[in-house]
């Protein structure tokens, strides 16, 4: 009898242990209030208001006055972009900005899609909402939220949006856009503190808070389920959205899933992967990007992470100077669009800026930061997130079906094995043909193809 009791107890303990091991963790969070002062008695105003980006003559005159008062400084001889943005290149950009760039024309381009604002947790959240073109009567649209990072904005997705929303003929296999009658409805918000979204007025607003706000935004728009895509901070925010509400996020697609160095699989694969690549699923490209370890995985990111340390510690100090100087702001932002697009661009005097982007698009992104005065608040997002660098979300796996687009010139390379340590339900992993950190803006057709293929796969599985 005693033996039977002991066996039963042991078996019960094993079952409980197994249940505890297999039970999926869900990220927990609590509502916040990020508006100025105390929350109102009645809570948030739930209304949704149309918003239009505007341009005034006074705004332009102030910009030109500040640009004309800039104090140039010569770059070192033969320094290209190795010391940051090259002054000769910057002078040409500023000259174009001052004499040829038409901000009013770009404002009209920005306003070609409907913009809205709504208050969530005390802050006015801006978003672009684009419904599918030519939606047949009775057809259902599939909502997708696109989330940007730093130093980007909602404008990063302006080349991608028409490829996602314009359905083309089923038999047109060469069309770069949407096929098979998949009608996508795009919601593209500005992160709080970025662009035209109000900045939090209180400390502590990190990626989990942004994820909670965006989940609330999607509910307010009437979506019970949706897909999410992001890069840079957007990749983390959409990941947190999936961790918070895995039953709501139908599928997660990211193009920035940096490896976390605290798991056994990654360390083991680093030690043995060069000699036994097939054991860890390493491709020849993985080997090329990973080894030698010190050069590719540690030294190069260290060269490119000075900004991160500044913004994660004292964002208000350097941010104040950038907020006052449009030329300084452009230098700070455009240098990232050079070296983060292709690290070899550092060897060019013009930084390769117009090899992948137009000056109009680059300066439009800069102007969104300038006219909204958001550079300081956007940089604070680093401090808030690095203050919570070991927060609960780092320990919670992602069980939502996930697709990863791995672009070859991304800042940090990751492998399929490493991605699976975080994203336990990985459905697709694509090694993209070309592209860097700002993939949606640089290679919108490639991004559209991969995102559409992922969503189509998920929809067809139903």
Query: What's the average pLDDT block by block, 10 residues per block, for the chain (462 residues)?
Result: 41 40 74 93 90 97 98 95 96 98 98 98 98 84 97 98 74 47 93 98 97 98 98 97 97 89 67 72 76 61 86 96 98 97 96 97 98 98 86 90 96 88 95 97 98 96 74
What is the pLDDT, as a whole number, of residue 32?
94
Token pair recorded at residue 436: 């860097």
**What distance lies between CA 396 and its chain's CA centroid?**
20
Strands 48-51 and 115-120: antiparallel
What is the pLDDT, as a whole number, of residue 298?
63
Q: What is the pTM of this model?
A: 0.88
What is the pLDDT, as a whole number, of residue 3?
39
**CA neighbours closer than 13 Å in the CB half-sphere of residue 200:** 20
- Closest residue by Cα to residue 393 from 224, 266, 209, 259: 209
What is the C-alpha to C-alpha distance for residues 414 and 433, in angstroms, rounded to an integer? 15
**SS3 of residue 278 by DSSP:** helix
What is the C-alpha to C-alpha distance for residues 366 and 334, in angstroms, rounded to an integer? 8
Per the listing, tokens 């990985």 go with: 426
Contact 47, 118 (CB under 8 A): yes
**Helices 57-68 and 326-339: crossing angle, nearest 10°?**
80
Long-range CB pairs of 14-19, under 8 A, 24+ apart, other chains included: none
How buried is residue 20: exposed, middle or buried, by Cβ count under 10 Å (0-12/13-18/19+)?
exposed
Active site members:
232, 382, 437
What is the C-alpha to C-alpha distance for residues 460 and 447, in angstroms, rounded to an integer? 20
Question: Using omega within 30 degrees of 0 as the cis cutoff, is the peptide bond preceding 149 cis?
Answer: no
Contact 244, 208 (CB under 8 A): yes
What is the pLDDT, as a whole number, of residue 377?
98
Q: How far is CA 296 from CA 72, 187, 262, 306, in A?
A: 34, 36, 18, 17
What is the C-alpha to C-alpha distance for residues 254 and 427, in angstroms, rounded to an integer? 12
Domains and CATH numbers, the chain: 56-461 (3.40.50.1820)
Strands 142-147 and 184-189: parallel
What is the pLDDT, as a whole number, of residue 305?
86
What is the C-alpha to C-alpha distance for residues 197 and 219, in angstroms, rounded to an integer? 18
Tell me the DSSP string of 315-365.
Answer: HHHHHHHHHH-HHHHHHHHHHHHHHTT-GGGGGSTTTTHHHHS-HHHHHHH
What is the C-alpha to C-alpha distance for residues 366 and 134, in angstroms, rounded to an integer? 33
């Amino acid at each position: 009898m005693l033996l039977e009791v002991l066996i039963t107890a042991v078996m019960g303990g094993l079952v409980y242990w197994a249940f505890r091991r297999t039970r999926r963790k869900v990220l927990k969070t609590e509502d916040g209030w990020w508006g100025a002062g105390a929350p109102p008695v009645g809570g948030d105003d739930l209304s949704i208001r149309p918003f239009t980006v505007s341009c005034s003559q006074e705004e332009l005159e102030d910009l030109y006055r500040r640009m004309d008062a800039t104090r140039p400084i010569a770059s070192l001889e033969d320094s290209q972009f190795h010391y940051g943005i090259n002054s000769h290149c910057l002078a040409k950009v500023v000259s174009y900005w001052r004499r040829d760039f038409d901000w009013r024309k770009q404002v009209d381009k920005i306003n070609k899609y409907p913009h809205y604002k709504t208050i969530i947790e005390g802050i006015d959240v801006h978003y672009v909402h684009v419904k599918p073109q030519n939606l047949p009567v009775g057809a259902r649209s599939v909502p997708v939220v696109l989330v940007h990072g730093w130093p980007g904005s909602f404008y990063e997705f302006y080349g991608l949006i028409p490829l996602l929303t314009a359905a083309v003929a089923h038999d047109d296999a060469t069309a770069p856009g949407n096929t098979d009658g998949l009608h996508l409805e795009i919601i593209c918000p500005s992160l709080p503190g970025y662009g035209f979204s109000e900045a939090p007025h209180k400390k502590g607003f990190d990626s989990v808070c942004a994820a909670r706000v965006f989940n609330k935004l999607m509910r307010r728009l009437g979506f019970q389920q949706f897909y999410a895509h992001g890069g840079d901070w957007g990749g983390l925010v959409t990941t947190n959205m999936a961790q918070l509400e895995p039953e709501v996020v139908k599928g997660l697609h990211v193009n920035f899933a940096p490896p976390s160095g605290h798991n056994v699989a990654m360390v083991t694969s680093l030690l043995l992967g060069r000699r036994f690549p097939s054991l860890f699923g390493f491709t020849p490209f993985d080997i090329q990007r990973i080894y030698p370890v010190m050069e590719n995985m540690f030294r190069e990111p260290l060269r490119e992470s000075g900004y991160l340390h500044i913004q994660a510690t004292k964002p208000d100090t350097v941010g104040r100077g950038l907020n006052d100087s449009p030329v300084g702001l452009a230098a700070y932002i455009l240098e990232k669009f050079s070296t983060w697009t292709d690290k070899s661009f550092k060897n060019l005097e013009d930084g390769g800026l117009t090899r992948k982007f137009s000056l109009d698009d680059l300066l439009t992104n800069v102007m969104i930061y300038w006219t909204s005065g958001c550079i300081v608040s956007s940089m604070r997002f680093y401090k808030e997130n690095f203050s919570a660098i070991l927060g609960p979300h780092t320990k919670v796996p992602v069980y939502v079906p996930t697709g990863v687009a791995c672009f070859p010139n991304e800042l940090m390379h990751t492998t399929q094995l490493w991605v699976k340590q975080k994203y336990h339900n990985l459905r697709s992993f694509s090694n993209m043909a070309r592209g860097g950190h700002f993939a949606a803006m640089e290679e919108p057709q490639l991004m559209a193809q991969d995102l559409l293929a992922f969503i189509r796969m998920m929809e067809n599985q139903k």
